[in-house]
Every structure is written in structure tokens, then in C-alpha cells.
Amino acid sequence: MGRFAYDIRGVYPDEVNEELAYRAGRAIALFLKAKNVIVGRDCRTSSLALKKSLIYGLADQGCHVTDIGYCNTPMAYFASQKQHALMVTASHNPAKYNGIKITRKGVEPIGEHNGLGRIEKLLDKCHYPLPRTKGTVKPGHLLKDYVKYVRAFVRGRYKPIRALIDCGNAMAGYVVPELLKGLPIKYELLYAELDGTFPNHTPNPAIPENTKDLERAMRKGRYDIGIAYDGDCDRAYFIDEKGNRIRPEIIEILFAKELMKKGESLVYTVNCSKIVKDAASELGFKAHPSPIGHTEIPRTMKKHKSVVAAEITGHFYFKKFKYADSADIAALLMLKILSKSSKKMSELIKPYQRYATSEELNFRVKNKQAVLKRVELAHKEMHTKRIDGLSVDAGDYWFNMRISKTEDYVRLNVEARTQQKLLNAVQTLTKLVQ
């Protein structure tokens, strides 16, 4: 059985396969009490077969299905403004994974807090109630309407800039050419061919090794900005003109300056850099911490009526997009900000590069809860919070440690006032974990 935290996900075919997809179709139909559902898929080699089985399950449970074929996750969110939407994808995970993302009508991603547990129980049933009539299946097309909708978020004039975009052989190669068509953006694509084996690198730009090719190309000096997408286009990572990775928290600050007025609020996850709170205070914004995950952050945003939110993995959420995340909106917005500015990308971000920040460190350990307790005990005299995992402010350094809900890891993010203090903190914490 696959993991159930933010969505249904696991290794194909051992954990997620056609049988599970069929039963998921019936279970999701029952849970949503759905009459009409939109279904799409990414380009993974197993996605077509899983989508067919998912649709059979939905139809056998009486749902009328619109099959939109290829799509990305933001397209599924767009579709869910009017109907329930399902997407066969494992997002940023390696090619051997697959899964199903579920979004209830009204752009409500279904996670462990609002229904995945019930769906999992329904999946285990041997028999399902028979509907009065079986559902139907028809083809649909969404890309053109989706692009028009997204482009409306970033209306305005662009001056010509040069962008290099790494599609990772995933769904960005399907969407980005349509997204940028007609704009004065001179762009080139890396790995644009859809290939669900991901032959060049895993489409997860949060991991530094996966943006190395893009960084090398940027250092040749022919581009103003680099953009790396993940597998289903709900993450984007940005590279400056010198070939350096840019922290998503700093991008969020630039977005806030573009979109927000004084007194409005933004949301950041508990593993984000301290610069978000600092900059928000300086700019007259309110900043609110949130648990991590695409089913958690919209809840925090809605609570505070926040305009924008970000995760360190490159997710960007927008109030105007019904609090959902979209790498497409993030990419267009950053291109617009840069095109309006007289500064280079490295100059735009420089004021916010104040702290030494680690990339996310992942540790595979046997007893994850014991590790968290050991680290908490070692820092018992320091300020701690338990919003999501363990967050500690030790003065010269601060960190968040949590158990991953999608992979078998303890995740650690550390920040400090200087590079040396960061190195010392990482060394100390690594000893406590291992």
C-alpha cells in the first residue's frame, strides 16, 4: 500500500499499481460523493495504465469522467474550481514512483487532515455499493483555457529578457511553450522532451544535484534567469545570471513586494529562513508560520487571508489562485518582476542574503521519534516550537527537524549568523541524529 499523507503515492508496481488505482477510483468516488470528475496524468511510464484503471473505478462507481490526458498539477487545481479533479502523478519523486493527487471541487487538496484516512479505509473494502447506472467517459482539453487564466494573473508589459528553463523531461515541456507564447521572453528549454524515465535527472529541483546542468549553462552568461521545474509543475527553483541557486524564501519576499500592501500577510513554513520574518517586518507585512505541505499551507493562508506563501522546496502559493500552488504563476511573476527591474537577478536578491543557510539535509534512521526526542533534550534550555516537527532557536543558529510524510527520512534545515557557525551547528546536529 502506498503512503497516505498529502496524496496517494508509492513505488510502482509494488505499492501503487493498476489494482490499487481501480479501487482508488471507487473509493474516491464514494468519499467525494462525486457525479462528475476530471482526470489527468503526467508523463511517467506507468501513468497511462494507472489513469485507465482509475477511470474504470470511477465509472464503475457511477462517475462521469472527463479525461484531459496530459496535465500538470496547477491545471488540476484550475479544473477543480468547477469539478473534482484527480491527477496521476508522483510529483518530484524518481521515476519508479507514482500516485494520485485528489482535489475536491472548490480547490481543496485532500490530505490526511481532511479525508485521506477515510479513502484508505474505503480502499480496503472487498465490495463497493453498486450505483444505479455506470458512469461515462469523454475526452476533454484544458491547456488553452488554463494558460489564458494564468496569463491573466501577470498582465502587464514585459521588456525582453533571456531565460533558460529546465523542464526535467516532465510536464513543463508540455505547458511552458504555450505559457510563454507571444511574450517578449527569449527562452530556451533544457530537457523539454517528455520522457517518464527522466533520463537526465530526477525532476526535483530542491535537490542541488538536479540543477547542476542548469547552473553550468547559466554560467556561460547568455541568460538573465534560470528556472527549474519539478515533475508536475507545482515547484519552481530559480537560478541567477551567475549560475547560483536562489533560496525560495527570498523569491517569496520579491513576490510579496510585488503583490502585497502594508498590513497584509504572507505565510512561510517552519523550515524557512529567518529572513522571511525579518524582511516582512521591515516591509510592513505580517508573517505567519505554517506546517509543511500542500494540504496544510492553504489552511494557514485562509486563516490569515494571506496573499502569498512559500516552501523551501520551491512551492509558491497564491491567494488569487484559490490558495493553491503553481510553478507556472511563480515563473511568470518572477519573469515580470525581473523584466520591470533595471537590476540583475543577483542584485535583486542581494539585500536578503544575510544568513548562512543549509540545503535540506536528509537522514535515514531506524527510530525517527527517538531522534527527535534526543535532539530536543540536547536543546532543552533553548526556545523550541512544535508547529511541524521540532523548531529550535539556539541563538547563533536555529533549525527545524521533522519526519518526512512522503519519504523515509528525518529532514533537517539549519541556519546561522555566519558560515562557520552553520558548519559547527550541522556537525553537532549530525552527531545527535546518527
Q: Tell me, what CATH number does 86's domain have?
A: 3.40.120.10
**Claim to verify: residue 208 and residue 284 sit in the same structural domain:** yes
Please report the pLDDT score of residue 67 as a whole number.
98
**255 and 336, same structural domain?**
yes
Q: Which of 352, 386, 412 is the last residue of a domain?
A: 352
- Give the active site residue among 46, 80, 91, 326: 91
- State residue 4's pLDDT score: 63
Same domain, 116 and 181: no
Q: Are residues 371 and 314 in the same domain?
A: no
Identify whether the C-beta of residue 55 lies closer than 8 Å to the C-beta of residue 89: no
CA–CA distance, 228 with 315 (Å, rounded to integer): 12
Q: The whole model's pTM is what?
A: 0.95
pLDDT of the residue at 241: 98
Number of structural domains (the chain) is 3
Q: How many Å separate Cα 275 from the centre of its chain?
A: 21
Read off the CATH number of the domain in which 425 is found: 3.30.310.50
The one-letter amino acid code at 141 reads: H
Q: What's the domain range around 268?
A: 146-352
Domain boundary among 120, 141, 162: 141
Same domain assignment for residues 151 and 107? no
Whether 290 and 397 map to the same domain: the answer is no
Per DSSP, the residues of 172-233 read HHHHHHHHHTTSSEEEEEES-S--TT-SS--S-TTSGGGGHHHHHHHTTS--SEEEEE-TTS
Which amino acid is located at 20 in the chain? Answer: L
Looking at the structure, tell me whether residues 77 and 109 fall in a common domain: yes
Judge contact between 206 and 360, C-beta under 8 A: yes
Q: Any catalytic annotation for residue 91? A: yes
Question: Are residues 114 and 195 located together in one domain of the fold?
Answer: no
The answer to whether 49 touches 22, Cβ cutoff 8 Å, is no
346 and 404 co-located in one domain: no
- Which residues touch 417 (CB under 8 Å, ≥6 apart)? 355, 356, 396, 397
Q: 303, 327, 352 — which closes off a domain?
A: 352
Supply the pLDDT for residue 431: 95
What is the spatial distance between Cα 316 and Cα 332, in angstroms, rounded to a whole number?
A: 12
CA distance 261 to 382: 35
d(CA 267, CA 255): 12
* Mean pLDDT per 10-residue section of the chain, whose length is 434 residues: 76 97 97 97 98 98 98 98 98 97 97 91 90 97 97 88 98 98 95 98 97 98 98 98 98 98 98 97 98 92 98 97 98 97 97 96 92 94 94 96 84 97 97 92
| Per-residue pLDDT, 322 | 97
Residue 321 and residue 429 share a domain: no
pLDDT attached to residue 3: 58
Phi/psi at 229 (nearest 5 deg)?
-95, 160
> Does residue 233 share a domain with residue 185?
yes
